[in-house]
Structures are given as C-alpha cells and as structure tokens.
Amino acid sequence: MSRKRLPRANEILIFFTRLDRELPEPARLEDLLSHSELERAARLPEGPARSRFAAGRLFLRDSLASFLDVHAGDIRFVEGEWGKPRLAQGSGAGALTFNLSHSADLAVLAVAGGPEVGVDMERTVEDLPYLEMARLFFSENELGELTSLQKSAQISAFYRCWTRKEAYLKGCGRGLSLLPPHSFDVSLLPDHPPALLVHRLSPSEKERWRIVDLNAPQGFCAALAVERVLPVIRYITCD
C-alpha cells in the first residue's frame, strides 16, 4: 500500500466503510490487533457484534498505517486524560488526530492533521422512542425546539441533535459521564446550520468548536466536530 498524503491543516478526511466482511484467520488477527483490542472483542457476543468490532479496528489500523507508512499491527494507541484514544508518540504520529464511530454494519473515520476531531454516526430507526431519549439526554432548549416541530419532522431533528452532541463529546473526549448532556446546546432545527450554540460550564467552548453534518449513506445520520478550524471536508472512497 502506498503512503497517503497527510491531511492539510484545515482538511478533514472522512472514510466510510462496511464492517460485514471476511476477517483474517485468528492467528493473523492476533498479529494485527493489540491484546486489549482482542480482549474487548472477546467480551462481545460471538457473531456480528464481535466481527464488526474487529473489522472496525482493522479498518482504523489500516487507514492510519497508510498515512504513517508503517505496518497496521505496529500502530500503538494511548488514551488521553479522559480516555479518548490517540496515537502513541513516534512514526510521525504527532501529525495525525482521528476519531472512529460505527453503527450497525457501517463505520466512519475522521482523520485530521492536528486539530482534535470527534465523529458520530447513527443508523436511523423510524420507530425509535426518540422523545423518551430526548427527555433524558437533551437540554431544555433542545427538547423545546424538537417538540415545536411537526411530528413528521421530529425524528430527523432528533438524529441531527444526537449526532452533533455526540460528535462534540467525542471531540473533547469527555463523554456523558464527565459532561452532562444538559450542559450544552447544539442546533437541530432544519433551517439552522449545525453549531454548538451554548456551553453552560465552559462558555468559551462555543468559539472553540465547529460542527458539520456529514454526507452519510442512506439510512444513517452523521456529524463531525472539529477544534478551532473551519474544516474542509474531503471524502475518501474505501475499497
């Protein structure tokens, strides 16, 4: 595999791939994945969940290895202060940031040349109990905007809000256990651009982050959060 060009300062590369694929033989898989990745896979029920997790980790490793010009099995990950995965130092790792999300049989990977990124993708389900979920995880303002829409428009608005909030949480690396979802608002109305509107705990976060909706395949909704830069999105076709 030829080495890929590293993304420019404000360029975010987006990869979508299907996860229902044939995996390498177990011995080969042990050479490509770390001990912790193999342990995480083993804790999942045998079947699609386990194989999709392994396929997602291989996809991540293969994609990053193509930028760093190293073997996929030699990629090393570390966790940041709040558990966000990042590349260990060495092999040019300091030039790349990334974030991975998967839902059902689809994964999306965002790769950047320095700024922190977060990406979230969800398979859209029409009969989802979205109002119950919104009451638990949306702020009062977000819930009010959601319920102000016509019923037919609410499910799309729910997924816009959910993926934008999750992308931001993954970008800053804190997650719901460290940053309550009611502490910040994102836009969700159909005629409003994606944005972090209010952050009640750290007001400066509003200026620090940009949120972008991604062109996800039909049946999915995805969003990207990028630190500090107005991103130029480039979609990369995967084999």
Domain with CATH 3.90.470.20 in the chain: 11-115, 120-229
Average pLDDT for residues 168-186, to the nearest whole number?
A: 87
Cα–Cα dist 142/168, whole Å: 15
Q: Where residue 2 falls among pLDDT bands split at 50, 70, 90?
A: low
- The CATH class that applies to domain 11-115 reads alpha beta
- DSSP string of 18-33? E--SPPPPHHHHHHHS
pLDDT at 140: 96
Are residues 216 and 108 in contact, defined by beta-carbon separation less than 8 angstroms?
Answer: yes
* Backbone phi, psi, residue 234, to 5°: -130, 120
Residue 83 confidence (pLDDT) above 80: no
Residue 211 confidence (pLDDT) above 70: yes
| Tens digit of each residue's pLDDT (9 = 90 or more) over 55-70 | 999 999 999 999 988 8
Average pLDDT for residues 19-44, to the nearest whole number?
A: 91
CATH code for residues 120-229: 3.90.470.20
pLDDT at 174: 79
What percent of the chain shows pLDDT beyond 70? 95
pLDDT at 190: 96
Average pLDDT for residues 139-158, to the nearest whole number?
A: 97
pLDDT at 153: 97
- Comparing CA positions, the residue from 177, 188, 178, 187 lying closest to residue 209 is 187
pTM of the model: 0.93
Which residue has better confidence, 156 or 83? Answer: 156
